[in-house]
């Protein structure tokens, strides 16, 4: 299947445009291939367009664990984008494979020779299906060209030659900017759903294409850590900006052994010292705008806070975008230190009132905000948005039970999966007991970050937090369900130092802080509303203004 192999790779490319006769255009690209941010190979891709049609050709070298060498690819389309033929010669894990496919009258007739054994296969395909061989990622360059002029809701067909044809649905289209050290590239971002049949099911794929020429710039499969990116765009000094504000200023903040890249945004046209807010993002490789399912959550929050008179800093997490460091070795405590670095940097800024510094942490970022507030008295107030009210271990088990409910798993299957999860937790926390746990699960779970998340206990952290707190909780949140907000408020009210603590409950709002119908993760990519709810930004800004006594902005 298409996405099963693709889940193991991510790609970067550098494009060189080759002069050709006037009747033809030829674009040549070199790609680097990454597996979970680790380079494992290279692709060379050539797209030739003439009056008669378009061809995609090239080679590919992918090391273990994919272990595929493709010596020749040649995919041809006619002038109406109807596929004509596809030929692939490769060696997969030591086995020579030759594929030859001819397309005619709605059929794809393939001959496959694998290890000297020949077989034939015939599939019914759409007249203008897009040919996407598993072994050649460059085929996605045709997909982005076919997406030009499309609208949300449109469906294309992709043929995973020689296996199966799958619908590719357009879920969202936005305009973004990809900033590199040398230039800013306008790009169109397409969020797609590849409708693989069960058990794989639908997989979200995001593609970026240049506005000027429609070239493939980048591809990601968020759920499987897959990325395709041109070399200049894939560098650590590059970021994708889906959201910007008129007074945004790019800033670089020195940290311990690396730099934190962020955006500082001021209220427009104001004078005097202003209070400042640091936004702390949730789990995963999240950028400064905390973009999830195409929604720039922190971009929207920053806009509301700036309008209320606050200076706001949002930043790329460690190892993400233009920020250095390594995410795989970071714990919650490390993320708290990164946020502390920003707080101390802010208090030295001439436009910032150092006595009025606040934190807003979302999801896992709420746990980080608690850790920092407990040890950093420069912080005047903290807002905990969709934060955990139980230990991380308890929250993950709760999420797993909910997922099993949605799957309608049998009692035996539930018991088996929950037992495995509990054994993984115990092994992570103790450092022993990995016997009987699959190696691939250990590779994912055995990390400093996961250990720190499992052991995080808000009941302990809260006893050391003296600052006023606002707890914000969406009532349709299925990732951190509403009772967590109630628990956090109860913990805050039990503190020895009776600082202000309030709970803002938001009906109809999900974990991404936008209006929703069910609140389920499966709903994220199809949400009609793509804006953080005004009740979220107004509730946070109103509470912070009162708590930190923000004076009206003076022009």
How far is Cα 40 from Cα 35, in angstroms, rounded to an integer? 6
- Which pLDDT score is estimated for 276? 97
Comparison of pLDDT for 192 and 326, the residue scoring more: 192
Length of the chain: 555
Digit-coded pLDDT (tens) for 307-352: 999 999 999 999 887 888 888 789 999 999 999 999 999 999 999 9
pLDDT at 498 over 70: yes
How far is Cα 334 from Cα 313, in angstroms, rounded to an integer? 18
- Which pLDDT score is estimated for 227? 77
* Top-ranked range on mean pLDDT: pick from 12-21, 53-62, 98-107, 404-413: 98-107
- Which pLDDT score is estimated for 418? 95
Start-to-end Cα distance in the chain: 60
How far is Cα 275 from Cα 312, in angstroms, rounded to an integer? 9
How far is Cα 398 from Cα 479, in angstroms, rounded to an integer? 9
DSSP string, 28-49: EEEEEEEETTEEEEEEEEEEEE
CB 548 within 8 A of CB 352: no
- Which pLDDT score is estimated for 13? 35
pLDDT at 142 over 50: yes
Mean pLDDT across 429-442:
90
SS3 447: coil
Tokens of 354: 């150092």
Tokens of 337: 């230190």
Q: Which of 125-129, 220-224, 346-350 has the weakest average pLDDT?
A: 220-224
DSSP state of 326: -
Mean pLDDT across 407-436:
93
pLDDT at 554 over 50: no
Task: Please count the other Cβ atoms lying within 10 Å of the Cβ belonging to residue 161.
Answer: 29
Residue with tokens 């420069």: 378
- Which pLDDT score is estimated for 176? 84
How far is Cα 516 from Cα 531, in angstroms, rounded to an integer? 11
- Which pLDDT score is estimated for 226? 67
Tokens of 432: 């022993």
The pLDDT > 90 percentage for the chain reads 63
Mean pLDDT across 416-439:
93
Tokens of 521: 């993760």
Mean pLDDT across 355-381:
96
- Which pLDDT score is estimated for 35? 67
How far is Cα 129 from Cα 166, in angstroms, rounded to an integer? 9
Burial readout 525-546 (b: 16 or more C-beta within 10 A, e: otherwise): bebeeebbbebbbebbbebbbe
Kindly report the three-state secondary structure assignment for every residue of 110-146.
Answer: EEEEECCEEEEEEEECCCCCEECCCCCHHHHHHHHHH
Q: pTM of the full predicted structure?
A: 0.67
How far is Cα 115 from Cα 96, in angstroms, rounded to an integer? 5
């Amino acid at each position: 299947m298409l996405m099963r192999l693709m889940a193991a790779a991510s790609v970067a490319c550098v494009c060189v445009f080759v002069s050709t006769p006037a009747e033809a255009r030829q674009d040549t690209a070199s790609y680097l291939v990454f597996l979970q941010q680790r380079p494992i190979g290279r692709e060379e891709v050539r797209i030739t367009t003439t009056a008669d049609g378009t061809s995609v050709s090239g080679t590919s070298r992918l090391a273990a664990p994919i272990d595929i060498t493709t010596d020749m690819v040649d995919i041809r389309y006619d002038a109406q984008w109807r596929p004509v033929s596809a030929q692939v010669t490769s060696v997969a894990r030591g086995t020579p494979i030759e594929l030859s496919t001819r397309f005619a009258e709605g059929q794809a007739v393939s001959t496959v020779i694998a290890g000297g054994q020949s077989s034939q296969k015939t599939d019914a395909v759409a007249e203008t299906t897009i040919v996407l061989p598993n072994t050649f990622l460059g085929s996605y360059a045709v997909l982005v060209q076919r997406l030009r002029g499309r609208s949300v809701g449109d469906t294309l067909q992709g043929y995973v030659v020689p296996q199966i044809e799958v619908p590719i649905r357009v879920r969202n289209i936005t305009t973004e900017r990809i900033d590199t050290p040398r230039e800013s590239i306008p790009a169109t971002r397409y969020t797609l759903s590849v409708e693989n049949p069960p058990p794989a099911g639908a997989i979200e794929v995001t593609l970026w294409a240049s506005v000027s020429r429609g070239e493939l710039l980048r591809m990601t499969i968020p759920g499987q850590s897959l990325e395709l990116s041109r070399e200049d765009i894939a560098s650590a000094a590059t970021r994708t900006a889906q959201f910007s504000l008129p007074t945004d200023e790019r800033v670089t903040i020195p940290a311990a052994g690396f730099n934190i890249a962020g955006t500082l945004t001021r209220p427009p046209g104001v004078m005097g010292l202003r209070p400042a807010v640091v936004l702390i993002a949730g789990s995963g490789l999240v950028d400064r705008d905390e973009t999830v399912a195409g929604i720039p959550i922190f971009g929207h929050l920053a806009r509301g806070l700036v309008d209320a008179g606050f200076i706001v800093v949002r930043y790329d997490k460690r190892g993400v975008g233009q920020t250095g460091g390594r995410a795989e070795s970071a714990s919650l405590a490390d993320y708290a230190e990164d946020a502390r670095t920003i707080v101390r940097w802010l208090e030295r800024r001439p436009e910032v009132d150092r006595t009025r510094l606040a934190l807003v942490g979302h999801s896992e970022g709420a746990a980080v905000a608690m850790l920092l507030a407990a040890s950093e008295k420069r912080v005047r107030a903290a807002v905990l948005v969709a934060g955990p009210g139980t230990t991380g271990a308890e929250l993950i088990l709760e999420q797993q039970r909910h997922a099993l409910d949605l799957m309608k798993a049998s009692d035996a299957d539930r018991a088996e999966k929950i037992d495995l999860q509990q054994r993984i937790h115990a092994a992570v926390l103790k450092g022993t007991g990995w016997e009987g746990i699959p190696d691939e699960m250990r590779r994912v779970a055995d990390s400093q970050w996961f250990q720190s998340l499992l052991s995080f206990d808000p009941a302990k952290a809260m006893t050391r937090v003296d600052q006023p707190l606002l707890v914000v909780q969406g009532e349709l949140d299925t990732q951190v369900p509403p009772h967590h907000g109630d628990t956090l408020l109860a913990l805050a009210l039990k503190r020895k130092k009776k600082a202000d603590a309030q709970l803002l409950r938001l009906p109809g709002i999900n974990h991404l802080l936008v209006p929703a119908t069910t609140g389920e993760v499966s709903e994220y990519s199809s949400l009609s509303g793509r804006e953080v709810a005004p009740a979220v930004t107004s509730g946070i800004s109103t509470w912070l203004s009162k708590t930190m006594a923000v004076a009206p902005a003076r022009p």
